[in-house]
Amino acid sequence: MASQPSHKLLIYHSDSKIYERIISAGLPQLKIHSASRPKEALGFVEETEIILAWQIPDELLKRAKRLQWFSSMGAGNEHLVKNPYLPKEVTLTKATVYGEMMAEYVFAYILYFSRNVDKHLKDQRKKIWDRVKPGRLRGKVLGILGLGSVGKEIAN
């Protein structure tokens, strides 16, 4: 016999249906509502206790009177911490799975710009084969602003 839904979760994301399918398979006791636009969430947001989203319109957040937990899908959450419609007593958590992936993007861009890849690709299309000494990273200094999950991974 299936147990009664214990908590109400609103998933607000453009891919909310996918998240709903995954979460409901592992947590069938949750009553889940998925929405990708404010109109889709209006009938459920006032009774929801948990929101899973990255960015959510203020009009929805200020209606979430029973909210206890906001689980953010994004790495940067300053917009939530500073949001006057997110009550101070609400638990705010975030996904910390982006550090390694974002660190790889950072190093890809560092190499892209230091090696002038854009110029080489343009020249390649024009069949121009200039011999250019590639830029090197040895001896360079990298500044990291912030040591959240992404910044720490870059520093490692």
Alpha-carbon span 18 to 72, nearest angstrom: 16
Q: What is the pLDDT of residue 5?
A: 58
Q: How many residues does the chain have?
A: 156
Residue 115 CB-density burial (10 A; 0-12 exposed, 13-18 middle, 19+ buried): middle
Q: What is the pLDDT of residue 48?
A: 96
Domain boundaries, the chain: 8-94, 99-155
**Where do we find the tokens 């710009």?**
113
Q: What percent of the chain has pLDDT over 90?
A: 65
Q: What is the pLDDT of residue 3?
A: 58
CA 2 to chain centre: 33
Predicted structure pTM score: 0.70
Q: Which CATH superfamily is domain 8-94 in?
A: NAD(P)-binding Rossmann-like Domain (3.40.50.720)
What is the per-residue pLDDT across 36-54, written as a single tens digit (0 to 9) for each? 999 999 999 999 999 999 8
What is the per-residue pLDDT across 102-115, written as a single tens digit (0 to 9) for each? 899 999 999 999 99
Mapping DSSP onto H, E and C, the string for 45-84 reads HCCCCEEEECCCCHHHHCCCCCCCEEEECCCCCHHHHCCC
Identify which of 59, 66, 156 has the alpha carbon closest to the alpha carbon of residue 106.
156
Alpha-carbon span 15 to 102, nearest angstrom: 21
3-class state of residue 76 by DSSP: coil
117-125 and 99-114 helices cross at what angle (nearest 10)?
60
Q: What is the pLDDT of residue 88?
A: 86
Stretches in the chain below the pLDDT threshold 70: 1-5
